[in-house]
Amino acid sequence: MTQIVKFDDNAVAGAVEILRRGGLVAIPTETVYGLAADASHGEGVAGIFAAKGRPQFNPLIAHVANIDMAERYVNFDPLSRKLAETFWPGPLTLVLPLKEKQGTDRPIHPLVTAGLDTLAIRMPHGRVRDVIKVLDSPVAAPSANRSGRISPTSAQAVYDGLGGRIDMILDAGPCGVGVESTIVKVEGDTLRLLRPGGLAAEEIETAIGARLERTAHAAAIQAPGMMASHYAPDAAMRLDVREVRPGEALLAFGPDRVRGAGKAKALLNLSATGNLREAASNLFDFMRKLDAAGAATIAVEPIPSGGLGEAINDRLKRAAAPRDEYS
Ligand code: TXA
Ligand code: MG
């Protein structure tokens, strides 16, 4: 049985109790809903992989309540500290060296890091930090969807994919950002972008006064969870279209429509004014809705690549990629 609980102050104690005994709770964050387990609880963390049907033990992000909690587990260099102080809480994940001796008797379970000597860590926005604070341990949380499918931005979307497989869903309404966090790794003086996400790379570059490295190859090795095919709807996806073909649904962007739009089987506009933030927050929800409309293919209008457009285009490309054995 999966309870959906409105996320008010009264919900905190019940969620913590489930997490303490190794249960699974779907949590709202500003990016997407996450599927959380106590990061120190091996069975709990293993339960995440089982519920998602994840074929491999990819490393997970640990979510902390504050910087002090983060400091129990990882070493901050001056650059990452500056990033944390500037952008936390918020959609930024830092990959940092795990402390050899963690400052707690409930260390991060090795399943969370997939045995790496680094930990991906972030402080999310919102009430979920109250749960983490009371639990007094970070929660590991990937997006709360079946492996390879579209990430959920509402409690109902979580329920549609994972209902019956998890203990509780904390419902705080739709997520504001709508795409997953931006992941960066500090390597000496270099900052490497491992995954574009809800914090625009340009904002990070402005804050540090330097460019982010973006080697796709390195990202593939260092973020093993970044499979080519991901976020897949049932429908095929056709990107950067110039016209809509008969029978296709259309995911639109901006004020102007491509040819044939009037005949689309279904049409949703990510942002009529061409606002990339609005588009990011609508992306996964609209992909689900167009998928449910039953078209064999979802055609997608071109979306600019700057700012949050980088993350939007990254997710669309994965959704359109040939489906491999993981999808
Ligand atoms: O917004 C988000 O980041 C959401 C919400 C729930 O917080 N979470 C999320 O988690 O997107 P997930 O598991 O779907 O993505 C985690 C990514 C994966 O690509 C994984 O390979 C990478 O982070 N990752 C985790 N630990 C890593 C590490 N130590 N080094 C490099 N990449 C790592
Ligand atoms: Mg995911």
User: Residue 36's closest CA among 140, 138, 136, 128?
Assistant: 140
pLDDT grade for 198, boundaries at 50, 70 and 90: very high
Of the ranges 108-117, 161-170, 224-233, which is most confident?
A: 161-170
Copy the structure tokens of residue 243.
């016209």
Ligand 1 atom having least distance to the Cα of 120:
26
pLDDT grade for 218, boundaries at 50, 70 and 90: very low
Query: What CA–CA distance (Å, rounded) separates 203 from 16?
Result: 34
141 lines ligand 1 (CB under 6 A): yes
Contact (CB, 8 A) for 4 and 171? yes
- Termini Cα distance of the chain: 26
271 lines ligand 1 (CB under 6 A): no
179 lines ligand 1 (CB under 6 A): no
pLDDT greater at residue 74 or residue 226 = 74
Q: Which DSSP category does 272 fall into?
A: T
Q: At what angle do helices 309-320 and 276-292 cross, to 10 degrees?
A: 20
For residues 309-313, give the mean pLDDT.
95
Confidence check: pLDDT of 223 > 60: no
102 lines ligand 1 (CB under 6 A): no
Query: What CA–CA distance (Å, rounded) separates 42 from 57?
Result: 12
Q: Using the structure block, give the residue that is written with the tokens 């402080």.
A: 123
Tens of pLDDT, residues 152-173: 999 999 999 999 999 999 999 9
User: Residue 62's closest CA among 154, 155, 124, 126?
Assistant: 124
Put the strands of the sheet holding 249-252 in their side by side order. 236-238, 297-300, 249-252, 267-269
C-alpha distances in Å from residue 165, one per residue of 22, 24, 321: 14, 9, 28
182 lines ligand 1 (CB under 6 A): no
Tens of pLDDT, residues 56-71: 778 999 999 999 999 9
147 alpha carbon, closest ligand:
2
Tens of pLDDT, residues 257-278: 999 999 999 999 999 999 999 9
| Cα 202 to middle of ligand 1, angstroms | 20
